[in-house]
Amino acid sequence: MLGSPSRHQMLARLALLMLDSGMIPQKRWTRSVRNLEAICTKSFVAWVEQRLGTLRVLNPSFWATVREPSKGAAESGLWIGWCCDDTSFLTIGPAIRAFADLHPRLPGTVLAAINKAGWNSIPVFCFDDQLSVCECYMWGGEEDATEYADGLGMEGDAKEDYLSSVIKRADILERTPEEVFTYWKKQFKSARRLTQIGRGQADFMLRRIIELTTVLRRMDDVELVRNFHREAAESGEDFVGHGVVLRWSSEDFTPDVFQAVGHSAYDSGCGHDECCVHEQALDDHDSFKSFVTDLSSAIDMMRALDELLWLLSAEEWSSYSPNREQAA
């Protein structure tokens, strides 16, 4: 029986695939086995950096390595993934409030684009997740902590201790307006209408935000990233490695909810913080080309998402006054 390919053979396969896909420039190519790993590494880093550009909000770390085959796989292959070393906390409530004043469907459209881009690149935890997350993780599926305590038959000191230890619905709604949690129900169905609103804006920052929102809405889902999160969810794992936490205001409970979910997931042993991990076979040329296309799309999403979040968190939104006539 033939043994599995050696590491040098696998690196040679990877180098040829990277060369054919454009990840390794012709001028960097060499036939030296000794230099293959360095060439692949440098070329991969350069390829990612060129597409990412300079990010202002997100802080992704990429890694790639050739490993032995996983259980059930005939060949060893390329393992690649990324995560965020740090989580950024941004306040975008003033911008979203200005959008609601401009057009009632604009906030939901922008937030939906952020959510889509996040789950296709680096997930984002948003202030409008507060209630649904608390209902799931803290309130036992009930609408508030009190209902959960009553359903369990808690009384006296036990009930008081529980209620004093968790965030309650009234706490959240005191600092985040209730209508914020229904923004997702109102979105532009027509990309043309969204584009029209963007073109009618004299303010460059607002025009650019609408442009980026339109771009993200039109982009297809990235299969390798969505598959990773779906498989993790199906195995009972909760994602806790969000690259950004978006706040309504500097006083809201979004960071507290985010941290509570993370602690709950880690305590139960089902938390993971990788944004994506993918195993790519090196014996299929077409499959590798599809992988490069998917990875490139994820990076495109990442770059557009980063700029969008940076613009939404600008200080200027706190004093922004949109022209109401433009929403007509």
pLDDT digits (tens, 9 = 90+) for 40-99: 999 999 999 999 999 999 999 999 988 765 555 555 689 999 999 899 999 999 999 999
Q: Are residues 260 and 116 in the same domain?
A: yes
| Pair (232, 131) in one structural domain | yes
Task: Clarify whether residues 321 and 206 are in a common domain.
Answer: yes
Residue 5 binned pLDDT confidence (cut-offs 50, 70, 90): low
- pLDDT for position 222: 97
Domain count for the chain: 2
CA 168 to chain CA centroid, nearest Å: 27
Are 184 and 93 part of one and the same domain?
yes
Pair 75, 127 in one domain: no
The residue among 83, 101, 128 that closes a domain is 83
- The string of pLDDT tens digits covering residues 204-219 is 999 999 999 999 999 9
Average pLDDT score over residue span 169-178: 96
Using 50, 70 and 90 to split pLDDT, how confident is the model at 31? low
With a cut of 90, say whether residue 9 has pLDDT above it.
Answer: no
Instruction: Place 29 in a pLDDT band, splitting at 50, 70 and 90.
Output: confident
Residue from 140, 144, 136 nearest 167 by CA: 144
Last residue of a domain, one of 83, 99, 123: 83
Q: Are residues 113 and 129 in the same domain?
A: yes
pLDDT recorded at residue 30: 66
Q: Which carries the bigger pLDDT value, residue 271 or residue 153?
A: 153
- Is residue 218 within 8 A of residue 306, CB to CB? The reply is no
Last residue of a domain, one of 36, 51, 83: 83
State the Cα–Cα distance between residues 166 and 156, nearest whole angstrom: 16
Helix (H) or strand (E) holding 152: none
Q: What is the pLDDT of residue 82?
A: 97
The answer on 176 and 78 residing in a single domain is: no
Rounded to an integer, what distance in angstroms lies between the CA atom of residue 99 and that of residue 109?
Answer: 10
| Domain co-membership, 196 together with 237 | yes
327 pLDDT higher than 50: no
The end-to-end CA distance of the chain, in Å, is 74
- Contact yes or no for 311/209 (Cβ under 8 A): yes
Does position 271 have pLDDT exceeding 90, yes or no? no
Average pLDDT, the chain: 89
Q: In which domain, by residue range, is 33 found? A: 7-83
Report yes or no on 31 lying in a domain.
Answer: yes
Do 190 and 71 fall into the same domain? Answer: no
